[in-house]
Amino acid sequence: MKNPACTAWIADFLANDPPRSKSLVMTIFGDAIVPRGGALWLGSLIELLAPFGVNDRLLRTSVFRLAQEGWLSSQRDGRRSAYTIRPEASARFERAYRRIYAPLVAHWDGSWTLVIGPAGSIDAAERGAVRKELLWAGYGLIAPGIFGHPAADPEVLEDILARNEVLGKLYVCHATELPGVSTRPLRDMVSECWDLSEVMAGYAQFIARFQPLLHLLQAQAKDAAIDAEQAFVIRSLLTHTYRRVQLHDPQLPVELLPEPWPGTQAYALARALYRRTYAAAEDYILATLRREDEHAPDVEPWFFERFGGL
């Protein structure tokens, strides 16, 4: 039985901030389908998107575009179509969603990773592509042709350089303050590279939107089970909205963040709501998938490591 208060909250959310269908497909693939191998029938996806008001035609357009962009591949079996995460896109999915579910534990060792592209080292198209991906990965522009981050992930950086075919064309190094030389502290580069006010505002909006929902669920009797479809919709909207804020967060070390950092409260809120809804949502997802494929798998064990452990 659906909870009337949850029904009202979901309706208000979808009326005032409806997610774009293509982006929502990405969220549901990353949150619900990748842990099951990354493949599902189009009919199941249509059914999963229906509670969000996404119709058949709009969904087909969205998955077609995602396939064109290299995220999904399609296979036909008679009149049915299946969609699968492309192998080359799988690692990018995993890294993007690792940002969402991982605890905020990055610490600063006092150094910065610098990516330096001297004039003429790469062509204009390569430079534009690398710039776009470095900014998405949280790097800041220190000076023309120089990007930096104080807590860079070498694996992510290697992947960016490899996919854009610029391995060996750019300088990558660590920078630290030089002992014995009076210098401006390297931590000051944070304010030079990023305007964190928009990120902080995004986290504040997320908290304002989802904190009342957590209070609503906490007010229910402890033995009151949440409706499975509502749990799925809430978990998906939660993940989708949190992901949008995280895309603009450069993921700086905790020592370099303003105090108080609203991302800490936002993470705790997302974790609490996810833990409260994930089990019922999983029941809904699995039941939906198995209406079209009786052998649809359960989630992989690593799914339960999300948000520090479910």
pLDDT in tens, the chain (310 residues): 788 889 999 999 999 999 999 999 999 999 999 999 999 999 999 999 999 999 999 999 999 999 999 899 998 888 888 999 998 888 777 777 778 898 877 899 999 999 999 888 899 999 999 999 999 889 999 999 999 999 999 988 999 999 899 999 999 999 999 888 888 888 999 998 999 999 999 999 999 999 999 999 988 765 567 899 999 999 999 999 999 998 899 999 999 999 899 999 999 999 999 999 999 999 999 999 999 999 999 999 999 999 989 8
What is the Cα–Cα distance from 39 to 57, expressed in whole angstroms? 20
Contact by Cβ (8 Å): 116, 77 = no
What is the Cα–Cα distance from 174 to 73, expressed in whole angstroms? 39
Contact by Cβ (8 Å): 58, 45 = no
pTM over 0.85: yes
Contact by Cβ (8 Å): 35, 248 = no
